[in-house]
Amino acid sequence: MQRGASTRGRRPSPHPAPKLKAPKPKNKAGRDLGAAVTTGVILGALVIAAVYVGPMAWYPLVALAIGLAMWEVLTRLREAGYQQPRTLLIILGQIMVWASAFYSTAGLVAGFAITVLFIMFWRMFHRGRQETPEHYLRDTAVGIFVLTWIPLFGSFAAMISLIDEGGVPGSHFIIAFMLCVVASDVGGYAAGVMFGAHPMAPAVSPNKSWEGFAGSMVFGLITGVLVVVLLIDGPWWMGLILGAALVVCATMGDLVESQFKRELGIKDMSNLLPGHGGLMDRLDGMLPAACATYILLNAAALMNPI
């Protein structure tokens, strides 16, 4: 008998081998991905162009973004009944940004102090000397919150282009910051959609999960190490600190904006960016992360052995 003849005429097995299936996402994407990708590509092109030109283009781009973000937030606050001088606050915010352009952190601190004093005194007498101001503490505190949240934090993002340590071009620091932000956002978004099951703060943001935070942390740590070693010529462990700090700050920024919108009863800050909502919906995590990034990138550059 020939080898294999005994298998002739045998019936096929009624239980075929199971096929491997790709894991199904646990959650919906929650946004129009086509519009979101298109908008992201356009924004990315603007950022790349500004990075290539340097501070002369980066500062105006950041200043424009800060102005638009303040317009969104202040418009929503006015709709909710908060008495906020929108035009005045936007002008004060621009003073802070451009003070940092010429005098770095000293200019930023001075600009912030001046704007806070201005809003405190203006709010007291905006109805004249004979009228008692209404909701003085509430509206003054909200105005200072906006000035801190957007132009103060945003100025750190602008000042990243001014870092001049270790012979590293300023564009490298901007690229390092943006790559870490994108990595954190992509990692958190992908992990949250695929595996998100345990909410971090359900009372604030039901869609933000610990699984998404873990994805942000993994991507952030890897990217942090790569950008510090390859772009900044700093020690690899500084990249771990940078990645972790940026992810934590970005996550807290997301939660702050979620609570802000929850209190106002809104879903998006505006419809300025198709597929993303408002500009502030994209900057919420980036702004506080810029503070940590500015400090740590300076430190990494100082440790440059070259």
Q: pLDDT tens track of the chain, all 306 residues?
A: 445 444 455 555 555 555 545 455 555 555 555 666 676 677 778 878 887 777 788 999 999 999 999 999 999 999 998 988 899 999 999 999 999 999 999 999 999 999 999 999 988 887 777 788 888 999 999 999 999 999 999 999 999 888 877 677 778 888 888 889 889 988 998 898 888 788 888 888 888 899 999 999 999 999 999 999 998 888 899 899 999 999 999 999 999 999 999 999 888 887 777 656 788 888 888 898 888 888 887 777 676 655
Using a cut of 0.85, tell me whether the model's pTM lies above it: no
Structure-block tokens of residue 140 = 């003054």
Q: Determine the pLDDT at residue 166.
A: 67
- Asked if the structure places residue 24 within a domain, the reply is no
Q: Determine the pLDDT at residue 1.
A: 47
DSSP letter (8 states) at residue 167: T
Q: Same domain, yes or no, for 281 and 172?
A: yes
Q: Which H/E stretch holds residue 207?
A: strand 205-209
3-class DSSP state of 165: coil
Q: Determine the pLDDT at residue 28.
A: 57
- Asked if the structure places residue 9 within a domain, the reply is no
Among 161, 186, 215, identify where a domain stops.
161
Q: Same domain, yes or no, for 66 and 193?
A: no
- Asked if the structure places residue 104 within a domain, the reply is yes
- Asked if the structure places residue 2 within a domain, the reply is no
Q: Determine the pLDDT at residue 25.
A: 57
Q: Determine the pLDDT at residue 56.
A: 83
Report how far residue 230's alpha carbon sits from residue 235's, in angstroms, rounded to the nearest whole number.
10
111 phi and psi angles, rounded to 5 deg: -60, -40
200 phi and psi angles, rounded to 5 deg: -75, -50
Q: Can you give the residue range of the structural domain that contains 210? A: 163-306
Query: At how many degrees (to 10) do helices 236-264 and 170-195 cross?
Result: 60
Cα angle 182-283-275, degrees, rounded to a multiple of 5 = 80
Q: Same domain, yes or no, for 114 and 247?
A: no
CB-based contacts of 54-60 (< 8 A; 24+ apart in sequence): 54/161, 54/170, 54/171, 55/101, 55/161, 55/162, 55/170, 58/158, 58/161, 58/174, 59/97, 59/98, 59/101, 59/158, 59/161
Q: Same domain, yes or no, for 146 and 243?
A: no
163 phi and psi angles, rounded to 5 deg: -60, 130
Report how far residue 63's alpha carbon sits from residue 161's, in angstroms, rounded to the nearest whole number.
13
Among 161, 196, 218, identify where a domain stops.
161
3-class DSSP state of 109: helix
- Asked if the structure places residue 20 within a domain, the reply is no
- Asked if the structure places residue 155 within a domain, the reply is yes
Q: Same domain, yes or no, for 150 and 56?
A: yes
What is the sign, positive or negative, of the torsion defined by CA atoms of 44, 168, 303, 237? positive
Residues facing residue 273 across a β-bridge: 277
Q: Same domain, yes or no, for 186 and 295?
A: yes
Q: Same domain, yes or no, for 57 and 140?
A: yes
Q: Same domain, yes or no, for 149 and 189?
A: no
Among 161, 184, 209, identify where a domain stops.
161
Q: Same domain, yes or no, for 55 and 122?
A: yes
Q: Same domain, yes or no, for 203 and 301?
A: yes
Count of structural domains within the chain: 2
Q: Determine the pLDDT at residue 132.
A: 83
Q: Determine the pLDDT at residue 164.
A: 76
Q: Determine the pLDDT at residue 137.
A: 93
Residues facing residue 277 across a β-bridge: 273
- Asked if the structure places residue 276 within a domain, the reply is yes
Report how far residue 70's alpha carbon sits from residue 142's, in angstroms, rounded to the nearest whole number.
12
Residues facing residue 201 across a β-bridge: 205
Q: Determine the pLDDT at residue 207.
A: 83
Contact by Cβ (8 Å): 236, 223: no
Q: Same domain, yes or no, for 117 and 207?
A: no
Residues facing residue 199 across a β-bridge: 209
